[in-house]
Structure 1
Amino acid sequence: MAHIPEGILATPVLLTGAVVSVTLLSIALRRLPPERVPQTAFLSAAFFVASLISVPVGASSVHLLLNGLMGIVLGWSAVPAIVVALLLQALFFGFGGIVALGVNAMNMALPALLCAFLLRPMLHRATPRSAIWLGMAAGAIGVAGTGLLLCLSIGLSGPELLPAAKVIFVVFSTTAGCGVSDHGVRARFRRSRRPRAVELATGSL
């Protein structure tokens, strides 16, 4: 559902997504320390697998979005993790496509960075119980942000696509609870079972 296929978006939207994604990726790569590469690769693989599993819902389908969790755990490193996963999905499975890669990456990376700036500083001092609420907030921001950007990307590509954008917005709204709950459980697990990993990950953006 969060992967926009090729042939739908207007050229200005595609160019905007490409410019934003390249800019974010260049900043993120300069800020990526070598010791964080394994963790970034691990969450990129988790994002790759989780977003491949789609469940049909009406005229669309839904899948897990881990961008909120990646944002609070990885910070800026979430950007290359998302880009690599989306690129491999486009190459091997045709999800989204190469031309729309910039827009798809932008739609998922911007909410992840928003989670990083708003919630990540609080994660290292959170208790396992409060980590649930942080994870749920990250899930809400990730799902809502991606859904909003996705609908804007489609809606701005032509008036004939507005009905599709409205349907996708409804699907995102009705299925957001699954993503919020999933993020809460995962954040609590990482805080209670892997506290050292969380402390290392949240050292800096």
Structure 2
Amino acid sequence: MLHTDAVQAVGKVSVDVDALGIDLMTVAGHKFQASKGIGALYVRQGTPIRQILFGAGHESGLRPGAENVPAIIGLGVAAELAIMRLAQGDNTLRGRRDQLHGLLSAAVPGLCLNGHPECRLPNTLNVSFPSVSGKTLLDSARDTVMASVGSACHEGESAPSGVLGAMGLDTARVLVAVHLSVGWNTTEEEVATAAAALVHAWRHLADGS
């Protein structure tokens, strides 16, 4: 039995549960423009699951509590829009991400991309800035840029990213990494503003001024 946490992928890249052999798949609506607090669990027909919360018999007896119908409808609409974008080959996310990467690379000598240059999500960019810790850099640019040194799930933790470590990156490179992301509504102007703020903060900190 295979469960997949597809929160980051669904709505941004094509996900075929049959081709991937997925039995259970978790989806979070706010990752593809539905409201926060709504998600879904895909269950392949015939996959045995049992309830872990008890009370009323909502959701086929698996999860008690009144359903948030407006949020469920919003999730469905957001999914339809995401499918439409993928079918049309919309490269907005990839374009904004690559714009951000290009601006940072041009201005920061030694900037390192963490991850495969092609086989990665179209909306996220993880890079290491030389000589300046990721947390310090983002603290310096926080008036303009809202970002983190890792996923939002682990925001506030001081330990180096276990994911980057598992990718084979050394601790020094992990500690200077930042996790940046763009959305469907992110404009070219906003990307340019964010890049300029990060570059300014990095230069200020790297120079020790």
TM-score computed with the length of structure 2 as normaliser: 0.27
TM-score under structure 1 normalisation?
0.27
Tell which has more relative contact order, 1 or 2 (C-alpha 8 A, sep 6+): 1
User: Which structure dedicates a bigger proportion of its chain to strand?
Assistant: 2
